[in-house]
Amino acid sequence: MVRPFVLLITADQWPACLLGAAGHPAVQTPTLDALAKNGVTFTKAYSEHPVCIPARRSLMTGTSACVHGDRAFNPRGRMPDLPTLAQSFRDAGYQAYAVGKTHTYPQRDRIGFDDVLVDDEGRTMYGVADDYDIYLGDQGLAGRQFGHGMGNNSYLFRPWHLPEETHPTNWATRMMTRAIKRRDPTRPAFWYLSYRHPHPPLVPLQAYLDLYRDIPIDDPYRGDWARDRASLPYNAQAVQSRGDPYGLPQTLAARRAFYALCTHIDHQIRSVIGTLREEGILDDTIICFTSDHGDMLGNHGMWAKQVFYEGSAGIPMILVGPAGDERVGFDRRDDRLVCLQDVMPTLLDLCGVAIPDSVEGLSMLGEEKRDLLFGEFGDEGHCSRMIRDSRHKLIYYPVGNRLQLFDLGEDPRELVDRAGDPACAEVQESLAEALLGRLHGTDSDWIEGGRLVGEAHRDFKPGPNRDLSSMRGDHFPQPPVVDNAFMNFFPEAK
């Protein structure tokens, strides 16, 4: 068997709905729409842990948090001792290269790749000047990437402040096309291109803001259940509070900037595909596009991720096979339940590479399909859990012992909470029982007598935002390493 090349592309914080192919009324994604026409779109794809690090662990190990060990967000947690997607390909004779955001610790942990060119969004507190930082220095722009003044978790926006070619989206694209051109021609290759946007900071190129100048931006929507913050579960209150500074004009402006970042990525993917074509290997290449999680973007009054509503947990999942591969097909939609841990076994399966025994995910092209999909985020007060069948989604908030139930078949925007509705009592009971069977670790504290009891309700009260939503400064000279042990021993140094 001649093994195909593999290109896995991820974006950071891209919701499933933000595709022309998904019927979005405003966002412009001609490249991804064309890929969807040439392959299969999985319409029920989820991030089982909708926050960056746990999601990327699932993607790279084919496992859930129960196995890989992080369902919260542990920035100093090392990758577990499990076979990774990259190492599995290398063990099968592939060369494996990555460009962009891997979100690992230590930052230059290659997690099985031959080499990684890292863009870790300026996380100099861990002691590394990443490759994108080094590139800016080579251009005479050392330390300037955050000169725009926008925060990494803020929805304020402005145009990119440096020359267009220095934008991280352009840099990642160029580095990936160079890696493709520099491949060993005697061996197959696995390439991982991980864009850091559309995750904030919202700093699109002016050209892409201009592109949306005459395109009406869709208003956010809000279910009746989300209108009274005091009635919401603790974590939902917290996620709503992120949007307190933004009225409707600011919300629409933020959505416009977010869409601009998406379209910029979409157009840059064309350069990567063009490189594959001109190198004569496009027909022999598997392409997969997905995201680590989505963004609420003001829907239900919420922002960012860390909840299991569709905007946050729903992700795009597009798969294109080699030319003529009937296993994938073309212009096809598949409504099975899939998630990030399924990417690894799917790509290995398509290439005839053995799937490690540690992998929990399922090949998205196999006969076996899951009836239920379980998701989990967090260990403390902000935690929540999800169980989803082919039509309904049950969300559980332990703080306050609160259940929400949505009929996604009739209500894809989750406008009506059906929890407690007598007409849905049987579905709710069945899903709650299935959820109970999947809880693990400290989750047992929420169970008594075989029933969910959770913990006492409390209201979320925002504290100060001293770091201005992860604002970063001038990175030349490089800031000192933040050593928490040192700071704890010498508190006067804080």
The pLDDT, as a whole number, for residue 491 is 39
Residues 32, 399: Cα–Cα separation, whole Å = 39
- Name the band, by pLDDT with cuts 50, 70 and 90, for residue 494: very low
Note the pLDDT of residue 351. Answer: 97
Domains and CATH numbers, the chain: 5-371 (3.40.720.10)
pLDDT tens digits, 271-319? 999 999 999 999 999 999 999 999 999 999 999 999 999 999 999 999 9
Q: What is the pLDDT of residue 481?
A: 85
**Confidence band (pLDDT; 50, 70, 90) for 125?**
confident
Q: Give the tens place of pLDDT for each residue, 15-35.
A: 999 999 999 999 999 999 999
Q: Is the separation of the CB atoms in 407 and 418 below 8 Å?
A: yes
pLDDT mean over 445-456? 96
Residue 205: predicted pLDDT = 98
Mean pLDDT of 5-11: 98
Confidence band, pLDDT 50/70/90 cuts, at residue 1: low
Report the share of the chain in percent with pLDDT over 90.
91
Nearest 5 degrees, angle CA 426-CA 430-CA 436? 145
290, 319 Cβ separation under 8 angstroms: no
- State residue 484's pLDDT score: 53
pLDDT of residue 128: 87
Mean local confidence (pLDDT), 207-229: 97
Instruction: Please answer whether residues 212 and 260 qualify as being in contact, where contact means their C-beta atoms are separated by less than 8 angstroms.
Output: yes
Return the percentage of the chain with pLDDT > 70, whole number. Answer: 97
Tell whether omega for the bond before 198 is within 30 degrees of 0, i.e. cis: yes
Average pLDDT score over the chain: 95
